[in-house]
Amino acid sequence: MIGKAGVKRFLLSALIPFLVLVAWQLAVTNGLASRQMFPPPTSILGDFYDMLKSGELTHHLGISVLRAMVGFLIGGGLGLLFGLLNGLYRRTEELLDPTIQMLRTVPLLAITPLFILWFGFGELSKVLLIAMGAFFPLYVNSFLGVRNVDSKLFDVARVLEFSRFHQLTKVVMPAAMPNILLGMRLSLSTAWLCLVVAELMGADQGIGYLIQDARSYMRTGVVFVGIIIFAVVGKLTDSLVRVLESRLLQWRDSYKG
Amino acid sequence: MTAEALEISQLSKTFRTADKATHVLDNVQLSLKKQEFVSIIGPSGCGKSTLLKIAAGLDVDYEGLVQLDGIDVSGPSKEKGFIFQEHRLFPWATVEKNIAADLSLKNPEVRQKVDEMIELVRLQGFEKAYPKQLSGGMAQRVAIARALVRNPQVLLLDEPFGALDAFTRNHMQESLLDIWRQNKTSMLLVTHDIDEAIFLSNRVVVMDARPGRIKAIIPVDLPYPRNRVSASFQQLRTQVLSALDHVEEEGNSYEI
């Protein structure tokens, strides 16, 4: 699958990051930048290797991923459920949607202190914060997905006498799938963002804690490792959903650029 | 059991808006015998599509009697297969899954029937294709297979080949005849193509607009397969054309 063209494309996209790293390394080793503030890439790599070997990194990463996943499953799951429900039934939409839209405008960062007040610094407040962040993108997009279903296909479902269940599984869900998957991607990235916020606010485990702890001891290299881990895992989960997208949506006949 | 598959009598329909009422259908009488092929032709606005929707149970706001095999039509059902002008396949499902629709292909009985239908509409080799990979004619054949796999008593077709090019349309008419000969399902076809109506049907129903009513019913006694350029075919075409042109006396309805 990855042919000569693929390698060429990869090299091209890696060119700028590579040049930046080389310039950084040279600048620090030649004394142009402070070693304390900008540890050279080779020393960051060394920190990364040490943390990996001691098992410190995998331990904290595992904790963070678990928090993000639980939060995403609760928040995203509820978002999907309510999105489908309100998309399907005008009555529940009228009942629930205005309240949900109102809550959506509240900045998450602003309610973090409240969550800590109510639920303390424990896991509950973190998971709830992540769940709240993950709720809205999936809610909005699955709602939109249901409302975008071609009503002509509902006529077909009537003529073929689909049961209510089959209308949902054979018409609504597949038709709304592009939007649901988009919502999933946005929810996952929001969940990851909320995780960082939750762990920086106060935690004794997790990648966020690792960064906060390293900052207080001026271990700038470890701060960089934490940031890079956040970026890499975020990108990986996004790619995972995109793979899912290309599998589930191969039927689509749209412009591919 | 009656000999009529579909019985429509004294059917009227009025569209009401705030300030006026439009008669779409006025006292329409039509019956479709078992295994019969009837076409409805008429100018746009004559209510032929509305008539078909009422027969399908998709439109239940009317006055009069509509019965399928002696039972009142109260809503859409598999007994009345419906082919829309566009194929309306599910874009996310393959050809075989579109035909099966809500039935499971894991059921060997369903599997066998779906395979038979694919053979009937000559789409072997395309079982796993998605609708986007099919031509317009092929997609419409899948739609026909999807209706026929449910053993309908009557197949209602709403200008099914209207969007196809002339060459594909001729080809589709031949395959529809082929399907009809093998399957013996009663067919009620709405079309705006005179040749199509004469080529396919046992009887051609000519409708008049505003209000929509039946103006003439012309039997077509030519043997199948019909020759589109034969003299008798031309003669029937003239007959249908003049029926379309003539405005006969008001209130005329035809009993069959």
**CA pair distance B32, B242, nearest whole angstrom:** 24
**Chain mean pLDDT for chain B:** 88
How big is chain B, counted in residues? 256
Cα of B88 to nearest chain A Cα, Å: 7
What is the C-alpha to C-alpha distance for residues A133 and A203, in angstroms, rounded to an integer?
Answer: 19
d(CA A173, CA B92): 11
Pairwise pLDDT comparison (B16 vs B176), residue with the higher score: B176
Within-domain flag for A24: no
Quick one: pLDDT at residue A2?
A: 61
Q: Provide the pLDDT for residue B256.
A: 44
Q: Which residues of B67-91 are buried (b: 16+ CB within 10 A; e: fewer)?
A: bbeeeebeebbbbbbbbbebbbbbb
Answer yes or no: do B84 and A152 touch at CB < 8 A: yes
A18 assigned to some structural domain:
no
| Bigger pLDDT: A141 vs B213 | A141
Percent of chain A with pLDDT over 70: 98
Q: Region A23-34: what's the mean pLDDT?
A: 89
Q: Is the pLDDT confidence value at B247 over 70?
A: no
| Residue among A148, A158, A160 with most chain B CBs within 10 A, to mutate | A160
Determine, for residues A251 and B132 on separate chains, whether the beta-carbon distance falls below 8 Å: yes
**Chain-centre distance of CA B91, in angstroms?**
23
First and final C-alpha spacing in chain B: 18
Residue A188 lies in a domain: yes
Q: Which residue of A lies nearest to B95 if distances are taken between CA atoms?
A: A251
Q: What is the pLDDT of residues A222-257, one digit of tens each?
A: 999 999 999 999 999 999 999 999 888 888 877 766
pLDDT at B188: 95
Contact B91/A162, CB-based, under 8 Å?
Answer: no
- Reported as type and span, the H/E element at residue B40 is strand B37-41
CATH of domain B1-79+154-256: 3.40.50.300
Chain A residues touching residue B77 (CB < 8 angstroms): 159, 161
Sheet containing strand B80-83, edge to edge, reads B80-83, B154-158, B186-191, B37-41, B203-208, B213-219
Judge contact between B155 and B143, C-beta under 8 A: no
What is the mean pLDDT of the segment spanning B158-170? Answer: 88
pLDDT in tens, A109-145: 888 888 888 988 888 999 999 999 999 999 999 999 9
Q: What is the rounded average pLDDT of the residues A177-185?
A: 94
| pLDDT (mean) for B135-140 | 91
> Which residue among B56, B88, B92 sits closest to A251, beta carbon to beta carbon?
B92
Judging contacts by C-beta atoms under 8 Å, the chain B residues touching residue A254 are: none
| Domains in chain A, number | 1
pLDDT at B251: 42
Enumerate the residues of chain B whose CB falls inside 8 A of the CB of residue A256: none
ipTM of the complex: 0.82
Domain that holds residue A86: 56-248
B3-12, B134-143, B162-171: range with highest mean pLDDT: B134-143
Decide which of B163 and A209 is more confident.
A209
Is the model's pLDDT at B24 over the cut of 90? no
Q: What is the CATH number of the domain that holds A131?
A: 1.10.3720.10
Kindly report the nearest CA distance between residue A163 and chain B, in angstroms: 8
Angle separating helix axes A56-88 and A90-104, nearest 10 degrees: 140
Residue A50 counted as domain residue? no
Task: Determine the distance in angstroms separating the CA of B69 from the nearest CA of chain A, rounded to an integer.
Answer: 18
More reliable by pLDDT, B11 or B3: B11
pLDDT score of A111: 86
pLDDT of B99 reads: 95
Which residue among A155, A159, A251 places its CB closest to the CB of B91? Answer: A251
E-state strands within chain A: none
Question: Confidence band (pLDDT; 50, 70, 90) for B2?
Answer: low
Taking the CA of residue B128 and the nearest CA in chain A, the distance in Å comes to: 11
Say whether pLDDT at A3 is over 80.
no
Cβ distance B45 to B17 under 8 Å?
A: no
Tell me the average pLDDT across B237-247.
84
Residues of chain B found within 8 Å of residue A170, distances taken between Cβ atoms: 90, 101-102
Closest C-alpha to B94, from B131, B139, B58:
B131
The answer to which of B9-23, B40-54, B150-164 has the lowest mean pLDDT is B9-23
Nearest C-alpha of chain A: how many angstroms from B227? 35
Chain B contact set for A250 (CB, 8 A): 130
Domain range summary for chain B, segments of one domain joined by +: 1-79+154-256, 84-151
Distances (CA, A) of B36 to B6, B65, B75, B192, B199: 10, 20, 23, 20, 14
d(CA A85, nearest CA chain B) in Å:
22
Query: How many interchain CB pairs under 8 A, A with B?
Result: 57
Chain B hits for A162, Cβ within 8 Å: 101-102
